[in-house]
Amino acid sequence: CIIKWLKSTIILLKMLHYIETYRQRHPLRGDHIAQFKEKYFTQILDHFNYNSLGNGTYAQRYLITDQYWKKDGPIFFYTGNEGDVWDFALNSGFILELAAEQRALVIFAEHRYYGKSLPFGDESFNIPNIGLLTVEQALADYAVMITELKKELGAGKCPVIVFGGSYGGMLSVYMRIRYPNIVAGALGASAPILSTAGMGNSGQFFRDVTADFENCSTACKDAVRSAFQKLQALAQQEDYAHIQSAFSLCKTPSSPKDIHQLNGFLRNAFTLLAMMDYPYKTSFMSDMPAFPVKVACETMLNGTDMLLALRDTVGIVYNSTGEHACYDLYSLYVECADPTGCGLGFNSFAWDYQACTEVELCFESNNVTDMFPPMPFTESMREQYCAKRWAVVPRPGWLKTQYWGDALSTASNIIFSNGDLDPWANGGIRKSLSESLIAINIPEGAHHLDLRASNTADPDSVTKARQKEAQVIAQWVKTAREKTV
């Protein structure tokens, strides 16, 4: 009897082992979450001043999984951006799928001043503590972390590939041009390295948001524009009660400032709908239905009152679960130095600071090339705001000096991927610059769709993009390994 029991136990264990092995090789979506270990790295606080307040260290969070790693396999390192690192880890399944395929160690590093990587805890956003939040410090963090973790893990020969989306994609690109001694290649997904370096057009962003809705239907774009115009007319008549009731506002607006806030709140919903226009339900920057732009246009064109339609459309973003009986404008949207939105909570402070210093985001809507009310945001408005909010003077052109702008001829091993649906795309590199500076454009792609896990609803274009990315990255790894052997 005992022998029988032992036999069946062994069979059971073998089965479990088989399943586990299979699962590791063929990860499923949603299966990745539990695999990461959350750790903290003792990081140098100020890489560029030996006598500053930052003469110390802080605890930088990172997530790591070696479940796919084979000895001497590559390291896939996500250069965290403006948010909690889990948000990126849970929305970048492609990196894990690729890791399973290429037997890579995966690390997601959290950007200083975001998530739980707060150098001064709750005091991190005070002046002058906030001063240690710069792109250069963040890159140095990653350079040091990679160097040290490789030593710790005995992974000295493992080629490192960096990944990132949006600002994280910019960081990935920067890592490769700044630290090619440490990083063998970079996938910068939806990385607007030109527009944020002051090399774009101030009307580009909201023009491209508008284009997404116009592509859905011209009537949709026209309806949005008309609704904003009607709002403007009511505001000019100071018919604030009507505005409150039409938009279900918790408080009656009482000034042009409130109307400005309302316009920002409304416009921001369209920004998010356009950026997150994925072909399936997602919960990244907010909860979104599949094809949110299409859903928004249907809502916009449904019903007879255009203001109510506009309210319901932004409700897709702000009220997906119906938790708001009314909208509190100032808590649901925070105006900041980034007209495309700073998010809410701690992150909004940090990102606002970055938009006030290095990252140029002087995007405006003008109601000529876009469907939104004219909302200028000039360099001088930025200066005024930033001096008052953070006691800083923004440095236009600095990212161009530091990270080369479009003068990338000496760079190599970078993929610039962009989705045509993404309003950030045209602030990035859209044409290959050389054999190893590769632009991949994804016609049906929104904001870094390619970084997301594969999905049955994926358009062919993103599947092909991921295949191309996988192939290029495998080649980088191969070449890098040949060099170190």
Which residue numbers are catalytic? 166, 422, 447
**The tokens 């190893």 sit on which residue?**
436
For residue 78, the minimal CB distance to a second copy (Å) is: 20
Kindly tell me which of 13 and 391 has the beta carbon lying closer to a second copy: 391
For residue 124, the minimal CB distance to a second copy (Å) is: 12
Kindly tell me which of 244 and 412 has the beta carbon lying closer to a second copy: 412
Kindly tell me which of 143 and 301 has the beta carbon lying closer to a second copy: 143
Kindly tell me which of 321 and 410 has the beta carbon lying closer to a second copy: 410
Q: Which two tokens stand for residue 81?
A: 């951006």
CA-based nearest residue to 271, from 182, 123, 372, 366: 372
Angstrom CA distances, 376 to 231, 363, 366, stand at: 18, 8, 7
For residue 410, the minimal CB distance to a second copy (Å) is: 4
**322 SS3 class:** coil
For residue 473, the minimal CB distance to a second copy (Å) is: 17
Q: Which two tokens stand for residue 470?
A: 């996988």
First CA to last CA distance, the chain = 55
Q: Which two tokens stand for residue 342?
A: 């700073």
Label residues 101-132 b or e (16+ Cβ within 10 Å = b). Answer: ebebbbbbbbbbbbbebbbbeeebbeeebbbb
Helix then strand then coil, in percent of the chain rounded to 5, is 50, 10, 40
For residue 47, the minimal CB distance to a second copy (Å) is: 8
Kindly tell me which of 5 and 50 has the beta carbon lying closer to a second copy: 50
Q: Computed from CA positions of residues 200, 201, 207, 209, in that sequence, does the dihedral angle turn out positive or negative? A: positive
Kindly tell me which of 284 and 390 has the beta carbon lying closer to a second copy: 390
For residue 130, the minimal CB distance to a second copy (Å) is: 6
Label residues 196-219 b or e (16+ Cβ within 10 Å = b). Answer: bbbbbebbbbbbbbbbbbbebeee
Q: Which residues bind a second copy (CB under 8 A)?
A: 44, 46, 48-52, 55, 127-128, 130-132, 134, 136-137, 140, 143-144, 147, 178-182, 356-357, 390-393, 395, 397, 400-402, 404-405, 407-410, 412, 483
